[in-house]
Structure 1
Amino acid sequence: MKEKAPFDFERFKQEAMEGLYAGKKAGGTDGVFTPLMKHLLESMLDGELDNHLEEDKASGVPNRRNGKGRKTVRSMGGGSFELETGRDREGSFEPKIVPKRQLIITEELEGNVLSMYARGMGTRAIS
């Protein structure tokens, strides 16, 4: 399995501050928080899939990862971005964070993720 490159928080913070000082919007397609939201949601979805596969393994079901799907989601802040979601061989994985066929990120989820990051939580703790 190809490992995803780690998210560079230091670079993100620098670019976000520069963008905000330059008058760039916080939300939206080109907003300064869009890359962070994408990374955090994908990390949470990967954690959900890992947990699902561990439960299947514990119950004796032979299941494993089976690639990733992509969908374009819209946030309540007006932006959209492409989100990669994992799949399993059995097709039994039903994500809770961003359910299948959901294309709009709710304002509540968006606010919760950003507030957890603002409080200093890392991606591992949030997911």
Structure 2
Amino acid sequence: MNLIKKEFFVIIIIGLFFYSFLKAPSLKAIEFDLTAAQNSVGKRFASKFCEAKEKGFSTESSSEFALNNTYLKFVAFPEDEKFIEDLWEFTVERIRYDCGSYVTKNQENNLRDFFQEEGEIASNRDLYLPN
């Protein structure tokens, strides 16, 4: 009788192990911290934006180019305006440092609106992607 209980217990533990292994937790926006976003999104966005600006593209074309060449289209951010604002501040500082001479204050404001709009989409990714 004791042997049956032990075997049953082992089978349950193995079953739970396989269930937890196969049901891998999905990446939630809450787990996507600001430092990771700055490294994977902010730096790359600024780099690609400046690359396009240096080639003479307009601000709109440069921001679209940067969007299409970064992870911003694919990440999910927390629904937190401060998170997006902090990420924007980091990104715009990189842009100012890397190619500030190519960007006017007005263009920077337009880029901010674009970035915030894309950040809002990233904060509501579940509304844009099928389950």
- Structure of greater relative contact order (alpha carbons < 8 Å, 6+ residues apart): 2
TM-score (norm 1): 0.34
Larger C-alpha radius of gyration, 1 or 2?
2
TM-score (norm 2): 0.33
* Higher helix fraction (1 or 2): 2
